[in-house]
Amino acid sequence: MQSFDGYTIHDVLSRAGVPLRSGAALGDGVAVALWERDETADTRYEAPNHHTLSLYLDGGTGIARRDGRRVLRGGGPGSLCVMPQGVTTDWDVSGPVRMLHLYVPRKAFERAVVEGLDADPAAVTLRDDTYVQDALVEGMIRGALLPLRWEEPADRVAASHAARMLVACLATRFTNRAAPAAFARGGLAPAAVRRVREFVETRLESPLTIDDLAAVAGLSPYHFARAFKRATGEAPHGYVLGRRVERAKAMIAAGRPLAEVAAATGFSSQSHLTARFRERVGVTPLAYAKALL
């Protein structure tokens, strides 16, 4: 069984000696774990660093959640718990339970929000739900994920696909969504476009992410990508690639070695430069240099 330490809830249960029957990382930072416990204990998940979807497969009727002065009961086979990242939860455990956990990092959840809701992840929050019933999600876990041997290569594609579908369900079925901001309908202001362009020009040799560019514009990554394309007619990644290639063309014309050109324009290697240059220009850098002679 492969190790996937670093997920807060997994680590809490592991340190407590709770038997882990199976577990695997399924791509995109998402992991699945099958636990069995039969004990009397108090468990606290302190500000976990990931979202968690939990399903009681068997047992669980003796488990209760303490939430301030409230005690939430009603768990049992088929009960789902949704535990958002950063939300501390306290549990009184009594008796047997077999439960499946799906651990979902923020990046994977935000991607599912964009794909499933076409919404800004900053305006969508995962609900803190305890002991809810959802026949679709339970059916997917029991029918599409649980029967697989997650570590077997032959089952990896099916397991990762099932996990992706469950993350999509989290985004579409267990979230609250704020009203969209007014600026989502328009493009970037000219001043913001200028700031982004200046930022890109001074950092073409460095790795750049959509988060970097959005921060310069003062928008969320989701809104930035849409607004930048409306304002310029080009997606951010396409614009950055175009500027890298234009700088490469100028350096090639100046007779600079291709390895130096690649490093100065943010490409990981000379072969990476060649591939992207040919996509944009239609010829390789070497052929471009020869044509200038």
Greater pLDDT, 136 or 210: 136
Please, what is the average pLDDT of the chain? Answer: 92
Confirm whether 3 is domain-assigned: no
User: What CATH number has the domain bearing residue 120?
Assistant: 2.60.120.10
The reported pTM is 0.71
Confirm whether 288 is domain-assigned: yes
Q: Are 265 and 248 within 8 A, CB to CB?
A: yes
For residue 33, which of 18, 48, 45, 44 has the smallest C-alpha distance? 18
Q: How far apart are CA 4 and CA 162, in angstroms?
A: 19
Which pLDDT does position 111 carry in this prediction? Answer: 86
Q: Assign residue 92 a region (left: φ > 0; alpha: ψ between -120 and 50; beta: otherwise).
A: beta
Question: How many angstroms separate the most distant Cα atoms in the chain?
Answer: 81
Instruction: Categorize the per-residue pLDDT at 48 as very low, low, confident or very high, splitting at 50, 70 and 90.
Output: very high
Q: Residue 268 above 70 pLDDT?
A: yes
Same domain, 201 and 287: yes
Identify the domain boundary among 135, 153, 177.
177
Strands, E, within the chain: which ranges? 20-25, 31-45, 51-59, 64-67, 70-72, 80-83, 89-104, 124-126, 129-132, 175-177
Read off the pLDDT of residues 197-238 as tens digits, 9 standing for 90 and up. Answer: 999 999 999 988 888 998 898 888 878 888 899 899 998 989
Mean pLDDT confidence for 56-74: 95
Identify the domain boundary among 129, 146, 177.
177
Identify the domain boundary among 154, 177, 200.
177
Q: How far apart are CA 58 and CA 55, in angstroms?
A: 9
Phi and psi torsions of 223, nearest 5°: -65, -35
Which pLDDT does position 171 carry in this prediction? Answer: 95
Q: Coil, helix or strand for 56?
A: strand
Same domain, 12 and 144: yes
Same domain, 57 and 139: yes
Same domain, 17 and 146: yes
Same domain, 163 and 271: no
Q: Are 232 and 192 within 8 A, CB to CB?
A: no
Which pLDDT does position 179 carry in this prediction? Answer: 62
Lowest-confidence range among 65-79, 139-153, 167-181, 236-250? 167-181
Within 10 A of 33 (CB to CB), how many other CB atoms are there? 25
Same domain, 272 and 243: yes
For residue 169, which of 220, 115, 215 has the smallest C-alpha distance? 115
Same domain, 118 and 31: yes
User: What CATH number has the domain bearing residue 261?
Assistant: 1.10.10.60
Q: Residue 186 above 70 pLDDT?
A: no
Same domain, 23 and 110: yes
Q: Residue 122 above 90 pLDDT?
A: no
Same domain, 28 and 154: yes
- Pairs from 271-280 (Cβ < 8 Å, separation ≥ 24): 273/248, 276/241, 276/244, 276/245, 277/245, 277/248, 280/241, 280/242, 280/245
Which pLDDT does position 54 carry in this prediction? Answer: 98
Q: For the chain, percent helix, then strand, then coil, each to nearest 5? A: 45, 25, 30
Same domain, 149 and 205: no
Give the range of the structural domain holding residue 66, as residue numbers without chain letter: 8-177
Q: Coil, helix or strand for 260?
A: helix
Which pLDDT does position 182 carry in this prediction? Answer: 45
Same domain, 121 and 248: no
Q: How far apart are CA 93 and CA 143, in angstroms?
A: 27
Confirm whether 2 is domain-assigned: no
Instruction: Categorize the per-residue pLDDT at 257 as very low, low, confident or very high, splitting at 50, 70 and 90.
Output: very high
Which pLDDT does position 46 carry in this prediction? Answer: 98
| Number of domains, the chain | 2
Which pLDDT does position 99 carry in this prediction? Answer: 98
Instruction: Categorize the per-residue pLDDT at 153 as very low, low, confident or very high, splitting at 50, 70 and 90.
Output: confident
